[in-house]
């Protein structure tokens, strides 16, 4: 028996039988719907006083029969009909309207959100005959000022030969051409950024601006960004369903391939949002993890990132269609066996256990290396700071080395160590570390514990600050907060105020006083002697303190 979707409560057996019989009907490719089928659903719709909908695929078969109430119908989850980028869903919706009214705004929204081939509403006469057929289809364009759909001329019941399949193919060709042009110019993912928060507007805008930088650092083209300040955040979808639908339509018009939320999403929120937006949805944390995965080069770095990704993924392993999960177990198994979802969860748990064991070995190796350095008595300076502050550039200039340095977030993941000789033949080991960022994912901090532990053995922390960044004060607070969380705030620290060449001299002098730092330009070696002298003075002081401990 074929499923009748929706509001079937109270229907008679004969009425249900007639609804089931629609699955055996066929519609020629040129017809929106046949006059006979339109008449049949009109008659039954008046009889039961509920809207009836048919989802018809391109082969002319009725894929779903829907029953709503007097005002609307609800669509099922059409897992076998997915709207691929640049394509429509492959089904059109034909449904009845009990009142003499055309397509509603809800109908047109469903058309756009679900990317239906077409949608049509059959208005009815009092005696149950089709009166007029109102129809519309997606309008391929990238102008967000223009509606993403086009309503067509109203049809009479005998005018249903509209060249349906040919029109659908023409629409898809145009959509494909628009997408090809977009992909040619972009070359990768095209994203819309969304922030829904109760934070102050300036703080929210700063965070959204940083999300834009993160996206571009990950090779993603940002097409649009949306900020919604709400007193009460919706626990299911962050924003209201109406706003989410509006943004989904906007994303479709811009041919967006990815939605990125500035807030961390839990499993149920991801499921609720993707139920309404047929696009890939990620959050800030996943974006950072993806960037780390792109940047990691060493075996250790790759282990750390993979562990963080799996720990992030584990609670979010959900399935949209558990009924369709592949079953395993076979003969002799107890019950139906494990679902595909359960297998994935078990595999993730096993992989996490394996990676944690591997990282324990890494920690032991690092501890042995630290002990050897401590035995040699070589002072250690660790460069810290917000991501993209210029840490690697400073290391290169100080030590005449060639560590990769790029003007993008998280260019450096794997720590690099170089020797540096100070005046008076004082030799130190200077180490570059991964950059910090606000809301650094907890799993990432845990995974990079082995790397961050390098800071514990540092004699001095060199805090590089990009003073040309208008958000440098907040960035300092983030770095200081992370140091405090890691119990590293007791280690002596020198602040290097980088990119002084981008600011007026009087402002640089003012910031040096306010922040108690040394102005430098990491690319210009001639600006570094005051910084080197200050570091050497503190290292000397620390060394003297070790030799002459107070009693």
What is the pLDDT at residue 345?
80
* Contact in structure between 132 and 156 (CB atoms under 8 Å): yes
pTM for this structure? 0.74
Question: What's the pLDDT band for 364 if we cut at 50, 70, 90?
Answer: confident
* Contact in structure between 160 and 225 (CB atoms under 8 Å): no
Label each residue of 397-434 as H, E or C: HHHCCCCCCCCCCCCCCCCEEEEEEEHHHEEEEEEECC
Question: What's the pLDDT band for 25 if we cut at 50, 70, 90?
Answer: very high
Answer yes or no: is pLDDT of 320 > 50.
no
Answer yes or no: is pLDDT of 404 > 60.
no
Measured in whole angstroms, how far is the alpha carbon of residue 403 from the centre of its chain? 30
Which residues lie across from 4 on neighbouring strands? 65
Quickly list DSSP for 53-90: EEEEETTSBEEEEEE--SS-------TTS---TTS--S
Answer yes or no: is pLDDT of 474 > 60.
yes
Answer yes or no: is pLDDT of 181 > 80.
no
Looking at per-residue confidence, does 190 or 53 come out higher? 53
* Contact in structure between 191 and 223 (CB atoms under 8 Å): yes
pLDDT tens profile 71-123: 999 998 888 888 777 789 999 999 999 988 899 999 998 998 888 999 999 99
Q: What is the mean pLDDT of residues 184-190?
A: 66
Answer yes or no: is pLDDT of 298 > 90.
no
Percentage with pLDDT > 70 across the chain: 84
Question: What's the pLDDT band for 413 if we cut at 50, 70, 90?
Answer: very low
Mean pLDDT, rounded, of the chain: 83
Distance in angstroms (rounded) separating the CA atoms of residues 165 and 32: 9
What is the pLDDT at residue 93?
97
Nearest to 131 by CA among 103, 93, 94, 96: 96
What is the pLDDT at residue 332?
37
* Contact in structure between 73 and 66 (CB atoms under 8 Å): yes
372-547 belongs to which homologous superfamily?
A: P-loop containing nucleotide triphosphate hydrolases (3.40.50.300)
Residue 358's CB is within 10 A of a number of other CB atoms, namely 15
Helix (H, G, I), strand (E, B) or coil at 260: strand
> Per mean pLDDT, which range of 157-166, 263-272, 428-437 is the poorest?
428-437
Looking at per-residue confidence, does 410 or 141 come out higher? 141
pLDDT tens profile 490-543: 899 999 999 999 999 999 999 999 999 999 999 999 999 999 999 988 887 766
Distance in angstroms (rounded) separating the CA atoms of residues 330 and 321: 21
Helix (H) or strand (E) holding 290: helix 284-295
What is the pLDDT at residue 551?
34
Q: What is the mean pLDDT of residues 436-460?
A: 72
Question: What's the pLDDT band for 152 if we cut at 50, 70, 90?
Answer: very high
Answer yes or no: is pLDDT of 329 > 80.
no
User: What helix, strand, coil percent values describe the chain, rounded to 5?
Assistant: 45, 20, 35
> Per mean pLDDT, which range of 38-47, 307-316, 323-332 is the poorest?
323-332
Answer yes or no: is pLDDT of 256 > 70.
yes
Looking at per-residue confidence, does 433 or 205 come out higher? 205
What is the pLDDT at residue 315?
81
What is the pLDDT at residue 507?
95
Question: What's the pLDDT band for 321 if we cut at 50, 70, 90?
Answer: very low
Question: What's the pLDDT band for 365 if we cut at 50, 70, 90?
Answer: confident
* Contact in structure between 131 and 124 (CB atoms under 8 Å): yes
**Domain range summary for the chain, segments of one domain joined by +:** 4-183, 188-283, 372-547
For 179-194, letters b (16+ CB in 10 Å) and e give beebbeebeebbbbbb
> Per mean pLDDT, which range of 253-257, 349-353, 393-397, 543-547 is the poorest?
543-547
Residue 10 to residues 20, 75, 241, Cα–Cα distance (Å): 16, 20, 30
Which residues lie across from 462 on neighbouring strands? 383, 494
Query: What are the structure tokens assigned to 150, written together?
Result: 């086009």
Distance in angstroms (rounded) separating the CA atoms of residues 544 and 540: 6
Answer yes or no: is pLDDT of 163 > 80.
yes
Distance in angstroms (rounded) separating the CA atoms of residues 47 and 15: 9
Question: What's the pLDDT band for 328 if we cut at 50, 70, 90?
Answer: very low
Q: Give domain 188-283's CATH architecture.
A: 3-Layer(aba) Sandwich (3.40)
What is the pLDDT at residue 339?
60
Strand runs (DSSP E) across 162-304, as ranges?
A: 190-197, 221-229, 258-261, 280-283
Answer yes or no: is pLDDT of 62 > 70.
yes
Question: What's the pLDDT band for 331 if we cut at 50, 70, 90?
Answer: very low
Percentage with pLDDT > 90 across the chain: 39
Nearest-5° Cα angle at 526, 525 to 532: 75
Tell me the HSE value of 417 on the side-chain side, using a 13 A CA sphere: 15
> Per mean pLDDT, which range of 192-201, 208-217, 314-323 is the poorest?
314-323
Looking at per-residue confidence, does 175 or 48 come out higher? 48
Same fold, 188-283 and 372-547: yes
Distance in angstroms (rounded) separating the CA atoms of residues 346 and 352: 10
First-to-last CA distance in the chain? 90
Residue 38 to residues 61, 101, 104, Cα–Cα distance (Å): 14, 16, 19
Distance in angstroms (rounded) separating the CA atoms of residues 275 and 428: 56
Distance in angstroms (rounded) separating the CA atoms of residues 544 and 539: 9
């Amino acid at each position: 028996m074929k499923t009748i979707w929706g509001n079937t409560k109270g229907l008679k057996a004969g009425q249900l039988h007639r609804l089931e019989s629609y699955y055996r009907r066929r519609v020629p490719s040129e017809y929106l719907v046949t006059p006979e089928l339109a008449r049949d659903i009109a008659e039954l719709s008046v009889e039961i006083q509920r809207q009836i909908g048919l989802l018809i695929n391109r082969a002319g078969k009725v894929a779903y029969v829907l029953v709503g109430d007097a005002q609307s119908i609800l669509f099922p989850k059409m897992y076998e009909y997915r709207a691929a980028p640049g394509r429509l869903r492959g089904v059109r919706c034909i449904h009845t309207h009990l009142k003499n009214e055309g397509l509603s705004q809800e109908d047109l929204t469903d058309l756009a959100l679900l990317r239906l081939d077409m949608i049509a509403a059959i208005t009815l006469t009092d005696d149950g005959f089709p009166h007029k057929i109102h129809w519309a289809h997606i309008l391929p364009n990238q102008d967000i000022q223009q509606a993403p759909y086009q309503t067509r001329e109203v049809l009479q019941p005998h005018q249903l030969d509209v060249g349906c399949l040919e029109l659908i193919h023409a629409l898809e060709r145009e959509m494909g051409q628009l997408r090809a042009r977009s992909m040619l110019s972009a070359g990768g993912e095209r994203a819309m950024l969304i922030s829904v928060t109760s934070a102050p507007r300036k703080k929210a805008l700063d965070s959204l601006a940083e999300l834009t930088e993160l996206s571009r650092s990950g090779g993603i083209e940002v097409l649009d960004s949306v900020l919604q300040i709400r007193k009460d955040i919706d626990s299911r979808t962050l924003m209201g369903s109406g706003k989410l639908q509006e943004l989904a339509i906007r994303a479709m018009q811009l041919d967006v391939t990815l939605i990125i939320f500035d807030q961390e999403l839990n499993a149920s929120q991801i499921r609720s949002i993707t139920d309404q937006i047929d696009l890939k949805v990620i959050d800030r944390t996943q974006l950072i993890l993806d960037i780390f995965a792109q940047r990691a080069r060493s075996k250790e770095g790759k282990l750390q990132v993979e562990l963080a990704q799996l720990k992030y993924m584990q609670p979010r392993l959900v399935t949209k269609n558990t009924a369709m999960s592949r079953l395993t177990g076979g003969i002799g198994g107890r019950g139906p066996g494990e679902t595909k979802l359960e297998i994935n969860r078990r595999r993730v748990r096993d992989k996490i256990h394996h990676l944690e064991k591997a990282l324990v070995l890494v920690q032991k190796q690092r501890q042995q290396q630290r002990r050897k350095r401590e035995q040699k008595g070589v002072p250690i300076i660790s460069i810290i700071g917000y991501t993209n502050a210029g840490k690697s550039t400073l290391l290169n200039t100080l030590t005449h080395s060639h560590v990769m340095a790029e003007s993008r977030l998280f260019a450096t993941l794997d720590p690099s160590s170089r020797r540096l000789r100070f005046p008076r033949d004082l030799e130190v080991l200077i180490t570059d570390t991964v950059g910090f960022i606000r809301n650094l994912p907890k799993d990432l901090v845990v995974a990079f514990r082995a790397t961050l532990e390098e800071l514990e053995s540092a004699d001095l922390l060199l805090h590089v600050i990009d003073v040309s960044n208008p958000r440098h004060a907040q960035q300092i607070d983030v770095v200081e907060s992370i140091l405090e969380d890691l119990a590293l705030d007791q280690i002596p620290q020198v602040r290097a105020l980088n990119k002084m060449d981008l600011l007026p001299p009087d402002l640089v002098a003012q910031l040096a006083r306010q922040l108690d730092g040394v102005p430098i330009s990491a690319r210009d070696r001639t600006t570094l002697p005051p910084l080197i002298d200050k570091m050497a003075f503190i290292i000397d002081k620390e060394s003297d303190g070790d030799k002459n401990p107070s009693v």
